[in-house]
Amino acid sequence: MEVDFLGFRINTEGIFMDPERICAIEERLPPQDNYSRNAAPLLNLLKTGKNKKEIGVKVRQTNVVPAPFPLSETALEAFKALKEAFTSAPLLRYFDKNKPMRVETDASAFATGGILTQQFEIDGHLHWLPVAYYSKKLLDTETRYGTGEQELLASVEAMHH
């Protein structure tokens, strides 16, 4: 049984993007100018995934000169990987108390966040997939914390959540 709700498809496996809503992503042509500026918003929406960091690095490497440019092979691969990440895997899985879990956290100059992931088997391989997300804008005083303190705050806040 599946239910469509607010642009998502929910079934026994997890929460997916509604196929009708991802047509725009699948049909999007590779950009012809400053790739990173065009793709970064999509990357930010991709909360997690087995290749998010690698995709992000490739996307950001293309933002060298803010002018028209021919797409390099690396930029084209990053664009395809970003589209694939949005259109293939579920956004969230259901929590299973019997599966291994881990919490991944991060902090920036203005926010903290965390992801609760669990191991799920897909095609005979184990993958860490998201079951919950957390994010919080830093208070004014917290923005003045050092990097280490902000990272620790992210861990503490995620565990409390």
**pLDDT tens per residue, the chain (161 residues)?**
788 877 778 888 788 777 777 776 677 766 665 544 555 445 544 544 545 555 555 555 555 555 455 667 777 777 777 777 767 656 788 899 999 999 999 998 889 989 899 999 888 999 888 888 888 899 999 999 999 999 999 999 998 88
Domain shared by 17 and 70, yes or no: yes
Domain-located, residue 92: no
CA 84 to chain centre: 12
Secondary structure of residue 135 in the 3-state scheme:
strand
146 C-beta neighbours (distance < 10 Å), count: 8
Which two structure tokens, joined as six digits, stand for 24? 């725009």
| pTM summary value | 0.56
| Rounded Cα distance, 63 and 74, in Å | 12
Domain shared by 80 and 115, yes or no: no
- Domain containing 138: what range? 101-160
Domain-located, residue 79: yes
1 C-beta neighbours (distance < 10 Å), count: 5
Domain shared by 59 and 13, yes or no: yes
